[in-house]
Amino acid sequence: MPQKDASLIPVVGRTFEVDFGESVFHTTFDSESRLTFKPIKGSLGTLETVSYKNVEVGPNARLLYWQEKDKSTVTGYWDFEKRIVFSNVTLPDHTFLNLRGTLKPLS
């Protein structure tokens, strides 16, 4: 089993603002396998708690992925040190979105 990187920023119990410009979300990491995201700006997404997978890809960086109730799929690279997010989303109508944004800790 791989060792956890001791420098990785703990996220459980914390909320982050993800700002993609036209869409802004507040994402709270409820546990190592569940998160809640709340749209703050824009028409993308709805308030939802999802089960997610999480892979450490470097110090303070994670690859997150999940499926939403409407069958949208989300894969994102979250770099907590550089405070950037790259996200790929496939919507139920098969529209494919490539998003880039900023990441700001709120709590």
List pLDDT tens digits, range 7-43.
Answer: 467 899 999 999 999 999 999 999 999 999 999 999 8
CA distances from 20 to 6, 27, 59, 64, 73 (A): 29, 13, 23, 16, 17
CA atoms lying within 13 Å on the CB side of residue 52: 26
Indicate the pTM of the whole model.
0.87
Q: Domains in the chain, start-ordered, CATH in brackets?
A: 15-105 (2.40.128.20)
Q: In angstroms, rounded to a whole number, what is the distance separating the alpha carbons of residues 74 and 91?
A: 9
Rounded to the nearest integer, the mean pLDDT of the chain is: 92
